[in-house]
Amino acid sequence: MAGSLKARLLLLAVCCIAQSSLQSEGFAAEVTPEPDHREAKKAFAAIREPLPEPTAQAIGHYDRGCIAGAQKLAITGPAWQVMRLSRNRMWGHPILLAFIRKLAADTHRLDGLSGILVGDMAQPIGGPLLGGHASHQIGLDVDIWYTPMPSHVLTEEERDKLSATNMVDAASLTVNKVAWTPFQAKLLHRTASYPEVARIFVHPAVKKALCEAAGENRAWLQKIRPWFQHDDHFHIRLNCPAGSSSCIPQAALPPGDGCGEELDQWFKRLRAPPVKPKKPPVPAKPILVFDMPKECQALLRATEQAGKTQR
């Protein structure tokens, strides 16, 4: 299936660019598109709808890739609500949508929680985002707010303006004892229990709180990975799904629960005084479309051409 999808995408992209090919001579022209020097995050963010594909494919790496055949998560479900609708980042691989529905149902039915608030997933065809994330590009990442889902259905305005609850006291680098409750710990424990989950990114203070309260059952802590920010939400990353041969998996998790020296190093890094650079930092070069995997370039061209045809 993966090979046939790549072939269809590449063929459609080529045909759209070179409709006056040599088909009249009895064979197809091999046309190599000119390098696309557009900034990738602007080009991919401009796509509002994906191409319909019978088989979804996660392509490339979590921070340099795209998704074909993405599906849109319903903005309101029995135990979830999607936030920040104006960003149009509620798209993902079907296994991600199924996972979110399962997580929401299990936390409600088994843990007695009200439900979950869903943050950023991916764009309609994935790719780099305009701001906020380096990853979330292949339809296998989702942010879940620490804020419990309210009892009423939020309006569109509330979903765009409501602030997520910060769980970390920045001065002490500990969890906020007022905001942090058994709700958040239960939700993270439940999330880590699913085999399809590769990693869960949290603020180091959240990881420390979980380590201190875990008791003897500590195996699930291996998936809880400290990372910068992530003080008002946690980031779930799923494993590459079967059938997505172009999806690049992450390295295996290090052994152990990650509550010892590894976590201590994070706090040393966070508490270290800032170092003034000797020279002004050089801005990072933006990722251009031609820097993306070739399948993603073809998917972008094909989706753009389909949009022009529909208009």
From the DSSP assignment, how many helices (H) and strands (E) are in the chain? 8, 13
Number of C-alpha atoms within 13 angstroms, CB side, residue 270? Answer: 19
What pLDDT digit, counting tens, does each position of 220-253 carry?
999 999 998 899 999 999 999 999 999 999 999 9
What are the tokens at 45? 């963010």
Please identify which residue in the block is written with the tokens 């020097």: 37
CA 50 to the chain's CA centroid:
17
The amino acid sitting at 78 is: P
CA 109 to the chain's CA centroid:
26
What are the tokens at 266? 């994070």
Q: Is the pLDDT of residue 137 over 60?
A: yes
Instruction: Count CB neighbours of 7 within 10 A.
Output: 11
Instruction: Count CB neighbours of 100 within 10 A.
Output: 24
For the CA atoms of 5, 6, 8, 14, what is the dihedral angle to 10 degrees? 160
Strand partners for 59? 66
What are the tokens at 303? 């989706």
Q: How confident is the model at residue 254 (pLDDT cuts 50, 70, 90)?
A: very high
Across the chain, what does the average pLDDT equal? 89
d(CA 137, CA 126): 5
d(CA 310, CA 112): 46
What pLDDT digit, counting tens, does each position of 161-172 carry?
999 999 999 999
Q: Could you tell me which residues come within 8 angstroms of residue 245 by beta carbon, excluding any fewer than 6 positions away? A: 2, 3
What pLDDT digit, counting tens, does each position of 5-54 carry?
554 544 444 344 333 332 333 333 345 678 999 999 999 999 999 998 88
The percentage of residues in the chain with a pLDDT greater than 70, rounded to a whole number, is 89
201 three-state secondary structure: strand
Q: The CATH number of 2-273+290-310 is which of 3.40.50.620, 3.40.30.10, 3.30.565.10, 3.30.1380.10? A: 3.30.1380.10
Number of C-alpha atoms within 13 angstroms, CB side, residue 19? Answer: 2
**Which pLDDT score, from 0 to 100, does residue 276 have?**
82
**Which pLDDT score, from 0 to 100, does residue 5 have?**
52
Number of C-alpha atoms within 13 angstroms, CB side, residue 71? Answer: 13
